[in-house]
Amino acid sequence: MTTFADLGLSQKVMSAVEDAGYTIPTPIQAGAIPHALQRRDICGIAQTGTGKTASFVLPMLTLLEKGRARARMPRTLILEPTRELAAQVAENFEKYGKNHKLNVALLIGGVSFEEQNRKLERGADVLICTPGRLLDHCERGKLLMTGVEILVIDEADRMLDMGFIPDIERIAKMIPFTRQTLFFSATMPPEIQKLADRFLQNPERIEVAPPSSTSKTITQRLVASQSKDYDKRAVLRDLIREQSELKNAIIFCNRKKDVADLFRSLERHGFSVGALHGDMDQTSRTKMLAGFKENAITLLVASDVAARGLDIPDVSHVFNFDVPIHAEDYVHRIGRTGRAGRAGAAFTLVTKSDAKYLDSIEKLIDQKIEWLNGDVASLPSATEGSDEGREKRGRGDRRSKGKGHKTETRSAHTAPVEQDVVPEEAPSVIAEQTRQKKSAPPVARGNGNRQNPANDDHRDRRRRERDRDDGPTPVGFGDDIPAFMLIASNAKI
C-alpha cells in the first residue's frame, strides 16, 4: 500500500503531514503528487471530498523550498472560483507549511486593498486569489506576474465556465509560457476539456473516479412537491423534522433572492439557521461559515457559492430546495456531505417543471435516483378544492360576471361593500364618485402627519399578511381594483 513517504515529498512536508495524522494518501493524491514533483502539467479529476487540495498544496510546498520571492513578483499562483474556497486553500498552506518560512498572500474581494498591498510588497511565495481581485491589483500596477512558476486552476470546470474564460485568458498571457499548470476538478465535460487544453501542455491526466460520479456513501432521494414556494417550504420543513439523525445540513437554492426568503421563513418557524450567498459582504460570509463549522447554527441556506470545494467535514445532510439548472452543480452540492468515507444523505425537492433538469442529472451521474413517498405524478392536481383551484375559479368568476350581476368591490381603506352595477347608471355613478374624490381635501404626506390613522392599521395588516408563509399568492390587483376596471363594458364615455 502506498504511503506519503513513497511519494517523494520533502522531510519538512512529511513532518507536517504526520502531525496532521495522515499516513495513507487518497487515490488522487497518490496519482497526482509524483507527477507534480516532476514539473508535469496535470489534469486531475476526482469526486469532491477526496483530497484534491492536498494534491497540489503538498508538492508545491516541496518545490518552493528552493528559491525566494521578490517584492510584487509571486512565485506561484492559485486561482479559486469563490472567496471561501480561496480562504480554505490558504488554511491548508498554514497547516502543511508550518515548517516552512513562506509568505502566503490571499487576494479576495471584501478585504482592504492596502492590507493586501503590504503582503505583496514583502514578496509572495504563494498567491491565492479570485480572478477579479487579481486583475484589480494588476491594473493598479501592484503585481508583476513574470516570475510565476506554477499556475493552479482549482475547480477547473467552473473556472473555465463562459463567464471566467476572458479573465483566465488575460491572466494566462501575463504568466510565462514555461510555467507548470495544474487543473483539478470533480467534473470535466468534453466542451470544457477543449478549453482546458489551451492552457495545458502534454498533461498527465489523473482520473481516479468516473467523471461526475457521486459517492456511494451518500443516500440520495427525490421528494415530490408542488411548485408554489409556500408548498415547497412546508415540504422542506416536514422533511427536516423527519430526519432523526440530522446533525447539520446545507440547503441549496438556485437564486440569491430565494436564499434570503427561505432563511427568513425557517427562522420564523424556529429553526437554527444562517444564510450564505454572493451578495453578502465578506465579513458576514466568513462569520456565517465559521458559525456553521462550529455548530453554532444547524442549517445553512446557501447559493452555489457553498457548493464547490468547501471542506466542512461532518455535514450530515444536504437539501436541494431547487433542482440545480446545471447537472454538474448537483454533484458538487451533494458532495458537501458523505466526505472522507462518512455516511451522508441528500434530498432534492422536485416539481413537475423540473423534469428536464432531473433527466440531465440522472444522465450525468449514470444512475436513477429513488423517490421518497412517490414521484410528482402522484401529486394531487390543482382541483376545485385546492388553493390553486380556488384561485383559478376566482379569476374565472370575475371574468364571467357581466351586466346586472352583483360585484364585490373593496377600497384601500374600507370593508367590502356590495353594489349593483347597472349599465345605464354606471357612468353617472362613477362621475359622481370622481367629483367627490377631486373635491376631498388632500391627505398630508411626509413628516409623519397622516390625517387617517386607519391607513396605518391597514398598512400594518397588509405587511403582516405579506410576511406569512402559508397564505395564497395574490391574484391580479388583489384588494385594490382601479376605478376604470369597474366601468361597465357597454358604457358610453
Among candidate residues 207, 235, 262, the one where a domain is terminated: 207
Q: Which pLDDT belongs to residue 487?
A: 64
Range of the domain at 19: 4-207
With a CB cutoff of 8 Å and minimum separation 6, the contacts of 336 are 48, 250, 306, 307, 310, 312, 315, 318
Q: How many Cβ atoms from other residues are within 10 Å of residue 298's Cβ?
A: 18
Helices (H), 304-346: 327-334
Same domain, 302 and 344: yes
Same domain, 123 and 161: yes
Among candidate residues 329, 344, 378, the one where a domain is terminated: 378
Q: What is the CATH number of the domain that holds 76?
A: 3.40.50.300
How far does the chain reach from its first CA to its final CA, in angstroms? 92
Q: Using DSSP bridges, classify how beta strands 42-45 and 76-79 pair: parallel, antiparallel or unpaired.
A: unpaired
Sign (positive or negative) of CA dihedral 198, 199, 202, 203:
negative
Same domain, 362 and 410: no
The torsion region of residue 110 among left (phi > 0), alpha (psi -120 to 50) and beta comes to left
Sign (positive or negative) of CA dihedral 312, 318, 320, 325:
positive
Is 457 domain-assigned? no
Same domain, 370 and 273: yes
Q: How far is CA 381 from CA 227, 367, 378, in A?
A: 11, 28, 9
Burial 54-93 (b: 16+ CB within 10 A, else e): bbbbbbbbbbbeeeebeebbbbbbbbbbbbbbbbbbbebb
CA distance 335 to 346: 9
Burial 446-466 (b: 16+ CB within 10 A, else e): eeeeeeeeeeeeeeeeeeeee
Is 448 domain-assigned? no
The cell for 257 is 433572492
Q: How far is CA 111 from CA 85, 89, 90, 116, in A?
A: 15, 17, 15, 8
Is 306 domain-assigned? yes
Among candidate residues 186, 207, 228, the one where a domain is terminated: 207
Residue with cell 421563513: 265
Q: Which pLDDT belongs to residue 401?
A: 42
Task: Please count the residues of the chain.
Answer: 493
The cell for 76 is 506561484
Same domain, 258 and 373: yes
CA distance 167 to 171: 6
Same domain, 74 and 148: yes
Same domain, 275 and 407: no
Is 418 domain-assigned? yes
Identify the three-state secondary structure at position 312. coil
CA distance 179 to 116: 24
Question: In sequence order, what DSSP letters do the residues of 73-120 get, joined into one string?
Answer: B-SEEEE-SSHHHHHHHHHHHHHHTTTS---EEEE-TTS-HHHHHHHH
Is 456 domain-assigned? no
| Number of separate domains in the chain | 3
Same domain, 193 and 342: no
Is 213 domain-assigned? no
Burial 105-133 (b: 16+ CB within 10 A, else e): bbbbeebeeeebbeebeebbbbbbbbbeb
Residue with cell 462569520: 287
CA distance 181 to 353: 41
Residue 82 near residue 130 (C-beta atoms within 8 A): yes
Residue with cell 345605464: 424
Sign (positive or negative) of CA dihedral 456, 462, 466, 470:
positive
**CA-derived radius of gyration, the chain:** 30
Is 387 domain-assigned? no
Same domain, 203 and 226: no
pLDDT in single tens digits along all 493 residues of the chain: 789 999 999 999 999 999 988 989 999 999 999 999 999 999 998 876 678 899 999 999 999 998 888 889 999 999 998 888 898 899 999 999 999 989 999 999 888 899 999 999 999 999 999 999 999 999 999 999 999 999 999 887 777 665 777 898 899 999 999 999 998 887 777 877 887 788 899 999 998 867 667 888 899 999 999 988 889 999 999 999 999 889 999 999 998 899 999 999 999 999 999 998 877 877 888 888 889 988 899 999 998 877 765 667 789 999 999 999 988 889 888 988 887 678 899 999 999 999 999 999 999 898 999 999 888 888 776 544 444 444 444 444 444 444 444 443 343 333 333 343 334 444 444 445 545 544 444 444 444 444 444 444 444 444 444 444 444 444 455 555 666 666 655 545 4
Is 393 domain-assigned? no
Q: Which pLDDT belongs to residue 483?
A: 64
The cell for 165 is 474564460
Secondary structure letter of residue 450 according to DSSP: -
Q: How many Cβ atoms from other residues are within 10 Å of residue 346's Cβ?
A: 26
Q: Which pLDDT belongs to residue 490?
A: 57
Question: In sequence order, what DSSP letters do the residues of 394-416 get, joined into one string?
Answer: HHHHHHH--TT-EEEE--SSS--
Cα of 218 vs its chain's centroid, Å: 20
Same domain, 200 and 222: no
Same domain, 239 and 344: yes
Rounded to the nearest 5 percent, the helix, strand and coil shares of the chain are: 40, 15, 45
The torsion region of residue 270 among left (phi > 0), alpha (psi -120 to 50) and beta comes to left
Same domain, 147 and 193: yes
